[in-house]
Chain A
Amino acid sequence: MAEPTLPLTPPPALHFEHASVAYGRTPVVEAVHGDVHPGEAVALIGPNGAGKSTLIKAVLGLVPVVGGRITVLGRAPAQARRDVAYIPQADTLDPEFPVSAGQVVLMGRYRRIGWVRRPGRADRRAAAEALDAVGLADKAGDRFGTLSGGQRQRVLLARAIAQLPLLLLLDEPFNGVDAVSQDALLDALGSLRAGGAAVVVSTHDLALAHLACDEVCLLNRHQFAFGPTAQALTPTLLRAAYGGHALVTDDVVVAQ
């Protein structure tokens, strides 16, 4: 059965082909299969220990793919890093470190600036615009650690924006983030998508996945579903993925 192909569809930004990922011998995540197209947002959903972070690291080329294939922007993961932005969880970073928010955002330009050379005017402008895009233009001079959790997460997103990426990978960006920051993050992500970037967000907030993402990849050590949100997050699938730890009431699903 031939799948209909539209000649004008751009190639996927991220393509998983029955991919399995492992640190050593035992695969951490298996059988991931699906595409993320430019302008789309896909949520990686699964309980703790499901392998979401590991999968993200594999997309960055930092964890080996032991089965199948992962193609990033048409290339092998390690080759595509320049155009891929990684946004870690803000609380993994040392709050005492003497860097300002502005300096953190500027770090996203380093690859563009290259070795030896210093940031130029264009770089500083890009960093300022990126901070503005997340609503923190006035915090550029503040030390990173003095900002709230949500603000720090936004600064990290600004860092990614400054990188002008084609694909963004966010690792649990909404954990412990206040409502204002959450809105700011979603707005910024929306603008990035409108600009053609693809977004992958790992989260266990199902409501957010419904709200912000087109598709969902439901995982727990292996893939349970990869498709449009409503189809992938059925109660049955959720119960299977969360091993019975999902509470289902009518349309509202709460995962523990």
Chain B
Amino acid sequence: MLYRLLVEPFGFPFMARALTEAMLLGVLGGVVSVAVVLRRFAFVSDALTHTVFPGVVIGFMVAGAGGIVWGALVFAVFSAVLLTVLSSNRRVTEDATLAILLTGFFSVGVVLVSRRSSYTADLTAFLFGRILTVDRREILETAVVTVLVLAVLAVLGKELLLRAFDPDGSAALGYRVGLLDLALNVMVALVVVAAVKAVGTLLVIALLVVPAAAARLLTDRLALLVGASVLVGVLGGWLGLAVSYHASVYYGLRLASGATVVLALVALYAVAFAVGSARRMVSHHAPAAERA
């Protein structure tokens, strides 16, 4: 039964490719989401996903399907820089500025799309992705981005940790906090670019927040946090695809794969929530000897 659900679908080449892509994204998202959650950056990341949208549209208009990634890349990096710089005016709080920026950019994308005749079809592809149609080249692109981001995190890991935990202390030690922030924003932007074909710009935020949020409910220790987050990311991708296939083949329900992946991630979060709460209740009843 479980075999039928979890393994059988991936005998098909297109499903196997989708799974590879989903797992790569699970690793990428899992790792970067730790930074997003620890820095409490969910909104900035959400903003980045929306500001990339016009880039996706322009890339498509200029160079067809292959242009999407490049358009996304340009806008992603540009937005990352813009967002890093934009906290200079403290009068209006950062989060209001972010909300306005992201909807403004998004509206530009909508305006561009609305002038085309194939409005709805294009819109859905950009926004929700088409993971079932990824080809080898796209998987390779995702793999490259994953390796790149992992390398950057390996190099900058301890400095990013320090900055997240103690920004004043890191400035006092001589680190350029602005540049570290820029590095993080660019990495989030790269995740969005990598994920845009598979899950689209609107669902990628789940990949950037849910894995680490779930992992955080289970553990206090950084190393375990990263591991658990990657696990959740990968499992979510796998389960989501399996459910989407199963629903389509056995129940005739066409469920968007991007959406099922996200809901699988959220389900894992719910499980983590339950486990975390249960553990907390148990530890409250246990003798307090450990907490000396």
> Residues of A with Cβ closer than 8 Å to B?
60, 62, 78, 81-82, 84, 86, 88, 92-94, 97-100, 103-104, 107, 110-111, 113, 115-116, 118-119, 143, 159
Contacting pair B222 A99 (CB below 8 A)? yes
Which residues of B sit under 8 angstroms from A78, Cβ to Cβ? 174
Does B161 reach chain A (CB closer than 8 Å)? Answer: yes
Q: Decide: A86 near B155, CB < 8 A? Known: A98-B216, A98-B219.
A: no
A82 to B158, CA, bound (A): 17
Q: Which residues of A contact B222 (CB under 8 A)?
A: 98-99, 103
Residues 159-198 (chain B) with a chain A CB within 8 angstroms: 159, 161-162, 164-166, 168-169, 171-174
In contact, A86 and B220 (Cβ under 8 angstroms): no
Residue on B with the closest CB to A163? B173
Residues of B within 8 A of A82 (CB): 174
Known contacts A98-B38, A98-B221; is-contact A107 B216 (Cβ 8 Å): no
Please state if B169 and A97 are interface contacts (CB–CB under 8 Å). no
A100 near B221 (CB under 8 angstroms)? yes
The verdict on A86 contacting B169 (CB below 8 Å), with A97-B164, A98-B222, A107-B162 known, is: yes
- Name 6 extra pairs, CB < 8 A, besides A93-B166, A107-B161, A111-B173: A81-B172, A98-B38, A98-B221, A110-B158, A111-B174, A143-B220
Instruction: Verify A98–B159 contact, CB threshold 8 A.
Output: no
Total inter-chain residue pairs, C-beta < 8 Å = 59
Q: For chain B residues 127-183, which have a beta carbon within 8 Å of chain A?
A: 155-156, 158-159, 161-162, 164-166, 168-169, 171-174
Known: A98-B38, A98-B222. A86 touches B172 (CB 8 A): yes
* B225 at the A interface (CB under 8 A): yes
Chain B residues with CB below 8 A from A98, complex form:
38, 216, 219-222, 225
B residues near A62, Cβ cutoff 8 Å: 171-172
Q: Is the CB of A110 within 8 A of B174?
A: no
- The minimal Cβ–Cβ distance linking A117 to chain B, given in whole angstroms, is 9
26 contacts across the A-B interface (CB closer than 8 A) = A60-B171, A60-B172, A62-B171, A62-B172, A81-B173, A81-B174, A82-B174, A86-B169, A88-B166, A88-B168, A94-B165, A98-B38, A98-B221, A98-B222, A98-B225, A99-B165, A99-B222, A100-B221, A103-B222, A110-B159, A110-B162, A111-B173, A115-B156, A115-B159, A119-B158, A143-B220
Contact in complex: B155, A92 (CB < 8 Å): no
- Annotate B15-49 by CB proximity to A: 1 below 8 A, 0 otherwise: 00000000000000000000000100000000000
